[in-house]
Structure 1
Amino acid sequence: MAKKTNYDQIIAEIFKRHYVEGVASFTFERKEMNEISNSLGMDAPKNLGDLTYSYRFRRKLPKSITDTAPLGLEWVIENAGKSTYRFQLSRVNRIVPNPNLITIKIPDATPEIILKYALGDEQALLAKVRYNRLIDIFLGITTYSLQNHLRTTVGGIGQIEIDEIYVGVSRHGTHFVVPVQAKAGSDQIGVVQTKQDISCCAEKFPSLICRPISVQFLDDDIIAMFELTLETEQIKIVEEKHYQLVSKGDISDDDLMKYQANEN
């Protein structure tokens, strides 16, 4: 609770120092977090990047900030270069799982030793997606994991990290790049992160078609998968599927008949 309170006080003071009524964006420097912490008589966060990360994926901005946003808009925090961030007014844009979708059962091919030693929910999620070839199943192309936790620099944005990146090929020979964002627990799928992933792929892989994916653990170990795209500066859902990894005995003939019917 103390950590949350400190974060709220620091980000609220940063906003207060820069905000002018009517502006739609402004930038601030990472070093300001230290300066403001000292002025408030508190210790600075040990990991300064965690402060902005928290407000992008884990928690709401303080009410003193959200109350300044016009109806239908919200403040988001974006990377704006090396050690620089931007408060930006954006349309309210939420990527949340549809509770009305059917769950598709997939035979679990995750090695037992991976399940035993996986570190953290997001790492376990990425491993399950990889070993069960869920990207291939979801997109209908053949993909290969190129790198996970790719840290790189993108022009106009600064340093970013992609949870995992795949390259793939279709039956027609078309090549794709697939950045994957993984979220577990209460973390939200970040539209800012998706925009950064798309910008990265456009810069690093200009000849490949970018198909950004977000995956999220739901209850009962169901994995929600989204293919996303950027349309008029908004992240939109192209397709969403829910998969459940089960043993072979948990897939009934009725399940198979239902899936066959959906192929038509």
Structure 2
Amino acid sequence: MASKGRNRYAAIVEEIFRRHHKSGATKIRFDRDEFEEVARDLGIARPKNLGDTIYSFKFRQELPSGIAKTAPKGYEWIIQGEGVAKYSFRLVRPVRIVPREDLVVVKIPDATPEIIGAYALGDEQALLAKVRYNRLVDIFLGIAAYSLQNHLRTTVQGIGQIEIDELYVGIDRAGRQYIIPVQAKGGKDKHGRQQTEQDIACCQEKFPNLICRSVSAQFITSSKIAMFELAIQDGDVRILAEEHYDLVPASQVSPEDLALYRARNQ
């Protein structure tokens, strides 16, 4: 998206916020239909893809400074879905999910077919492929997990349309069955409260008899991947577990590495 496009999006979103905002508000609802009217009033071209306007501020970039500066100290505004073509600005505590710098890195013999690495389109696709071929969901969660569908688009009551990057099903030694939404973060995309919340809400609605375990994966380097298990506690997204995996040739896993890993489970 060009800078001109981003500025147009920002102007429209900021004006919608200004028209609805009242002092002390913690949630401000608006409809997607308002975008066309606001664009006309501002004398700028209507965005061709209204959904992309919303998506970009939900997951890719910060809200305009004119919105951000109205948030009280320790809070920030986000955009969330409220139904089909319905949204809201919501005041929340910031969630920053970034890989720790002091965590032990576990070396995994890389099972990614070389041809996949040669032709994977985009960071997100490459990341999902590496997670899948190296069974990182299984290793991270300690269960047998199987990819059910990727880029699942569906609707969730009270939220509207969502997309889950990849959905796994799993089973453990006791026979418990799991539904595992995986979000992949590559490039400039950031971990977001909204995606975790909507992934969990979708799984609870569509798979009520399965245990939902929400996972997020992020490239640290082209071979090193951070895996997070996320949950919601007291209305905030929290990290339940975090591991870092380095996909390397098997010859690079040394006896010293294996001794370190044995000690972690003693």
Q: Report the TM-score when normalising by structure 1.
A: 0.97
Q: Is the 8 A contact 2:15 2:38 kept in 1?
A: yes
Superposed counterparts of 1:93-172, under 5 Å: 93-172=95-174
Q: Is the 8 A contact 1:95 1:191 kept in 2?
A: no
Q: Is the 8 A contact 2:223 2:248 kept in 1?
A: no
CA deviation map 1:155-195 (0-9, x unaligned) = 11111110000000000100000000111022111111100
Q: Structure 1 CA distance, aligned partners of 2:186 and 2:46?
A: 27
Q: Structure 2 CA distance, aligned partners of 1:254 and 1:44?
A: 60
**Which position in structure 2 is the counterpart of 1:48?**
50
**Which position in structure 1 is the counterpart of 2:178?**
176
Is 1:35 aligned with 2:37? yes
Q: CA deviation at 1:229?
A: 0.6
**Which position in structure 1 is the counterpart of 2:252?**
250
Q: Is the 8 A contact 2:95 2:192 kept in 1?
A: no
CA RMSD of aligned residues (A): 1.1
**Which position in structure 1 is the counterpart of 2:228?**
226
Q: Is the 8 A contact 2:31 2:86 kept in 1?
A: yes
Q: Structure 2 CA distance, aligned partners of 1:135 and 1:58?
A: 25
Is 1:202 aligned with 2:177? no
Moved more, 158-167 or 248-257: 248-257
Name the SS for the 1:219 alignment partner. coil
* Ranges in structure 1 where 5+ consecutive residues have no aligned partner: none
Q: CA deviation at 1:34?
A: 2.1
Q: Structure 1 CA distance, aligned partners of 2:99 and 2:71?
A: 25
CA deviation map 1:119-139 (0-9, x unaligned) = 111011001100100000000
Superposed counterparts of 1:69-108, under 5 Å: 69-108=71-110
Q: Structure 1 CA distance, aligned partners of 2:251 and 2:25?
A: 59
1:95 and 1:56, CA in 2 relative to 1: closer, same or farther beyond 3 A?
Answer: same
Give the counterpart letter for 1:2 in structure 2.
K
Superposed counterparts of 1:184-195, under 5 Å: 184-195=186-197
Q: Structure 2 CA distance, aligned partners of 1:204 and 1:36?
A: 36
Moved more, 126-135 or 115-124: 115-124
Q: CA deviation at 1:14?
A: 0.9
**Which position in structure 2 is the counterpart of 1:25?**
27
Q: Where do 4+ consecutive residues of structure 1 move more than 3 Å?
A: none
Q: Is the 8 A contact 2:180 2:212 kept in 1?
A: yes
Q: Structure 1 CA distance, aligned partners of 2:256 and 2:222?
A: 21
Pick from 252, 260, 263 the counterpart of residue 262 of structure 2. Answer: 260
Q: CA deviation at 1:25?
A: 0.6
Give the counterpart letter for 1:144 in structure 2.
Y
Name the SS for the 1:36 alignment partner. helix
Give the counterpart letter for 2:53 in structure 1.
L
Q: Report the TM-score when normalising by structure 2.
A: 0.96
CA deviation map 1:216-251 (0-9, x unaligned) = 111353111000111111111000001111111221
**Which position in structure 2 is the counterpart of 1:9?**
11
Q: Percent identity?
A: 55
Q: CA deviation at 1:92?
A: 1.7
* Ranges in structure 2 where 5+ consecutive residues have no aligned partner: none
Q: Structure 1 CA distance, aligned partners of 2:37 and 2:220?
A: 39
Q: CA deviation at 1:112?
A: 1.5
Q: Structure 2 CA distance, aligned partners of 1:254 and 1:76?
A: 46
Work out the number of aligned pairs and report it.
264
Give the counterpart letter for 1:68 in structure 2.
T
Q: Structure 2 CA distance, aligned partners of 1:129 and 1:60?
A: 28
Moved more, 28-37 or 131-140: 28-37
Give the counterpart letter for 2:55 in structure 1.
Y
Give the counterpart letter for 1:81 in structure 2.
G
